[in-house]
């Protein structure tokens, strides 16, 4: 019971800070995306291609969460992005306090797009609200199409499922329709984009989704 009580207190405090972040993002017209995936799903490669495609159209800022190293933020900066790194020093997720702290030193007052690349796993990040407009969960072909059933919490809370590495579907015996059905079984309102950052297939749908949502945020 004590463990449950402590966890509830931690999440309650996190939600209070997240609520303030959400007000801040709304006030400054910043559309905020919290990207969650397993390690190796291709999320950093996806963000590299996103920066290259959209940096002239949108003001994009990226917060990258990792247990150690600044490798991912370095890659995104090399692609021309504005990226800052949070090293969690062992924590398996980002929380709202970390985002609040890093925002206070970032020069980003909107309007525009903020992408949070969460620490790589499908469990811990699902429970932590970061004040985002939407959680985006990434599932890559090598991981298996049954993952939504194994890790339901993140798919339940996500607004968009991105299936990556579609160039490997046949090689990995990955059924993208089954993956989406499994996700929709948990969350009937979840949307799905299938893409390959390597070949470019499906990337425009992702770019359009981002641009449309940023435009809606700015006009709201």
- Residue spans per domain, the chain: 2-219
Burial of 134 (0-12, 13-18, 19+ CB in 10 A): middle
Which CATH code for domain 2-219?
A: 3.40.50.300
- Within 8 A by CB and 6+ apart from 64, the residues are 44, 70, 72, 73, 76, 83, 84, 85, 86, 117
pLDDT in tens, 181-212: 999 999 999 999 999 999 999 999 999 999 99
Pairing mode of beta strands 30-37, 134-140: parallel
Residues 122-148: tens digit of each pLDDT: 999 999 999 999 999 999 999 999 999
Give the dihedral of Cα atoms 140, 66, 135, 96; nearest 10 deg: 170
What is the maximum alpha-carbon separation in the chain? 52
pTM: 0.93
Enumerate residue ranges in the chain where pLDDT < 50. 1-2
C-beta of residue 191 within 8 angstroms of C-beta of residue 159 = yes
Q: How many CB atoms lie within 10 A of CB 210?
A: 21
């Amino acid at each position: 019971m004590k463990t449950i009580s402590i966890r509830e207190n931690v999440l309650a405090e996190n939600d209070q800070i997240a609520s303030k972040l959400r007000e801040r993002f709304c006030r400054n017209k910043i559309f905020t995306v919290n990207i969650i995936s397993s390690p190796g799903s291709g999320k950093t490669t996806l963000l590299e291609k996103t920066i290259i495609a959209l940096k002239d159209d949108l003001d994009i800022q990226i917060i990258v969460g990792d247990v150690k190293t600044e490798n991912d933020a370095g890659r995104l900066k090399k692609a021309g992005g504005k990226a800052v790194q949070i090293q969690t020093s062992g924590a398996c997720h980002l929380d709202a306090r970390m985002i609040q702290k890093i925002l206070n030193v970032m020069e980003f007052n909107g309007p525009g797009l903020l992408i949070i690349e969460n620490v790589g796993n499908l469990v811990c990040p699902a429970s932590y609200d970061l004040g985002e407009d939407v959680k985006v969960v990434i599932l890559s072909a090598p991981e298996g199409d049954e993952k939504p059933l194994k890790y339901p919490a993140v798919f339940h809370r996500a607004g968009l499922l991105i299936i990556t590495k579609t160039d490997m579907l046949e090689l990995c015996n990955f059924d993208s329709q089954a993956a989406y059905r499994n996700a929709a079984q948990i969350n009937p309102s979840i949307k799905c984009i299938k893409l390959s950052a390597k070949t470019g297939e499906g990337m425009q749908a992702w770019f359009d989704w981002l641009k449309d949502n940023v435009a809606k945020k700015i006009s709201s």
